[in-house]
Homo-oligomer: A and B are copies of this chain.
Amino acid sequence: MEYFSKDISRLVAEFSRLPGVGQKSAQRLAFHIINAPKEQAESLAEAITNARSNVHYCKICCTLTDQDICPICSSEERNHRQIMVVENTRDMSAYERIGKYNGVYHVLHGAISPMLGIGPDDIRLKELMARLQNDVDEVIIATNSSLEGETTATYITKLVKPLGIKVTRIASGVPVGGDIENIDEVTLLRALDGRITL
Contacts and interface: CB of A to CB of B under 8 A. Distances in A.
Interface of A: 1-8, 10-11, 13-15, 17-21, 25, 27-34, 36, 38, 40-55, 58, 63-67, 70-72, 88-90, 92-93, 96-97
21 contacts: A4-B58, A4-B63, A4-B64, A4-B71, A4-B89, A5-B54, A5-B55, A7-B54, A8-B51, A10-B50, A13-B47, A14-B43, A14-B47, A18-B44, A31-B90, A33-B48, A38-B52, A38-B53, A42-B48, A42-B49, A45-B49
Contacts of A89: 3-4, 31
Contact of A31 (B2, B36, B50, B88): B88
A7 B97 contact: no
Contacts of A18: 29, 32, 44
Number of copies: 2
A53 B38 CA distance: 8
A55 B32 contact: no
A34 B17 CA distance: 14
A46 B36 CA distance: 16
Contacts of A33: 48, 51-52
